[in-house]
Structure 1
C-alpha cells in the first residue's frame, strides 16, 4: 500500500462508537468503519495504544480513510543483524525475544536493512513494523524516546543510592551477586512438593488472557511469540505470594518450539525466560530437581531438561538468575513493577489484534501440538 495511505503515529483520540474517529499525534486522522466486524476490537486496541503512548501502524482505505489494517510496531534499538542467506536477514531487537525476518523481496529492503545495521552501530531507536509471521514490512527512525535500560542507579536499593557514580557498576555487581547467592541458597534448601508446584502452575494458568477481550490483569500466555520477560516477572511476583521461592532460567539459542497458539504452529526466538521451582522428589531435598513453570509452552510444571529440549536447539545455553532480574542483560530490575505492567499491556494488545485477524483467536485446531 502506498505510503500516503499509511499512518505510523501514536493515537491521541479514539472517538465514541457513533463517530469512530481516530486522531494521531502527527495530526493525521482516520476512521473506523462501523460496518467492519472488527470495529469494536480495532477501537479497543487503538485506545490501548493511546493509553500506553505507543505508536500504531495503520493502513487506510484510499477512498474512505477507514482503517483496513492495524499493526503494533516495535520501538527499540537493534541488538543484532544476521544474514541467513542472500534472501533473508534475521534481526534481534533489544526489546523483543522474537526472531524478526527481513526478506529481500520486501519493498525497500536495502534501505531497511541499512537502518537496522546502523542501529546496531550507533544505538538509533527504530520503529519496526512486521506482519503476523514476524516478517518486517517497515523500518524507520523513531520520533519517540525510550528509557531502556533504566539508569543504573535506579537498579540499586534505596539505601545504596549514595554510592558515588564511578563505583556504581562495581557495587551493583556485588549487590546482585550477593542477592543471587542468597536467592539460590533459599531456593535449594527449601524445595516444594510436586503437588505444590502443580498448585502454583494451575493458579497462574487461570490468569491466562481470554484472547477476545484480554481483561486486565490477565497474562497473555496465548501470545507466545514475544513478551516472555514480562510474563515471567509477573509470575514470579505472584508466586512469592503463594509462599514459594521462585528463580528464573534464561535460554539463548536458535529456538523454535511448536505451539498451538500461533497460526504457523511454531514460534521462533533468540532467547526465552520462565520461572523455576526446586521440586523435591519423595521427602529428600537432595533428590529435588529444577522444574519450570511455563504456561506458554506446557500444561503443567516440567523438568528443566524437558523445557530446554522442546525449544529445538541442542546447543542452546541456560543461565539461571534470581527472580528479581527483569531483563538478564545488564541485570535490569523492576522494583515497582511498572515495566512489567507495560510489557503485559503491550502483548495483551498483540493477542487481541491476532484474534481479529483471519486466523481468529488461539488456540488453533490445525496445529498438532
Structure 2
C-alpha cells in the first residue's frame, strides 16, 4: 500500500475519505422513508386521451316515409366501424354545431355502415331540418358512439311497441329476436301508413307476428290494447311519443317490474313482466321547485324555474355545456357540485360531489357547480 505526500495511509484504494457513520445512518433513514412513501403512493401511468369523435361519410340518403329519410354512414376509407348492439344510438354532430342523438336501425352484423332515420320536424330545435336539408350523399360529418342507453336483454318472449319514428331502435331488436327463435310480437302505430318508415322490411318478417295499427284506420289505441299480448314472463320494449309511453306505463300491471331503459331488474322472477322504454325527449319534470345555480368558473348566476331542467337554464348562459341524452343515463352532462344539496333524480346519479344537470336538481335554494 502506498503513502500520500503527507505520509498517511489513504482512506481507501481510491483516495476517498472514510464515510462518517453518523451521516451513513441519516442517509439510510431518509432512503427508507422514501421507499415506504413510494409503496403507499401508486405510480399513476400516463393515460392517452380517448378521441371519441369518428368521421364518417354519408353514403346514401333514402326516403323511407313522408318526412322521413334514412342515412347510411360509412368510414371515409371504407373500413370497419365500431361494433354495436340493438338499442344503440349515435351522437351526430351537425355542421351548425348542433348535437343530436339518433338510434341505429340497420344490421349490427354490417360493420362497414351505420344507418339512422330522421323525421323532419319543422317546429323542433332545427336538427332534423338540418339533416334533411344539409346532409346529402358525400357529405362528411362527425359522430360519437355508438353507445347503448336502451339495452336489449335476453328473454324467451317479447312484445315490441313502436310509435312512428320510434321503430328505429325497435327494428334491430325485432330482427334479433327473430334470428334467436324467441317468441315475439310487434305492434307498430302511427298516424297513417304513409308516415311509417320501414314497412317494407317488416313485410319480410312473419306476418302473424306484426300488427300495423294506424290512427286513421283504427283510432287511438289505449294502453290495455297495446299490452294485450304481454303475458307472464314477457319483456315489453316500447319507444314512441310521450303520450304512447304514458298510456303504456299507466296500463302496465301493478306489481310487475317497471323500469327506465337502463335497469337490469335484479331479483325479478322469471314469470314477471318487465317494461323497458325509451323517450324521444326528456320526461316532464314532476314536483320541481325553482332554485339558483352559480357557475363557479365565471360567477354567473342562473335561475332555474320549477318546470325546467338545470341543463336548459344553464345552456342559456353557457351554450357550450356538454350534454347528450337529456334523460339521465349517458352521463355526458355530469358536473362537479362545489356547494349545495343535490336532489338526485336518475339511477346513475350517485354521490354528493357531482350531478347530472339534465334531470337532477335541488329541493330549493342554491347550487354551486364547477362550470
Fold match (TM-score > 0.5): no
TM-score, normalised to structure 1, is 0.24
The higher relative CO (CA closer than 8 Å, separation ≥ 6) is in 1
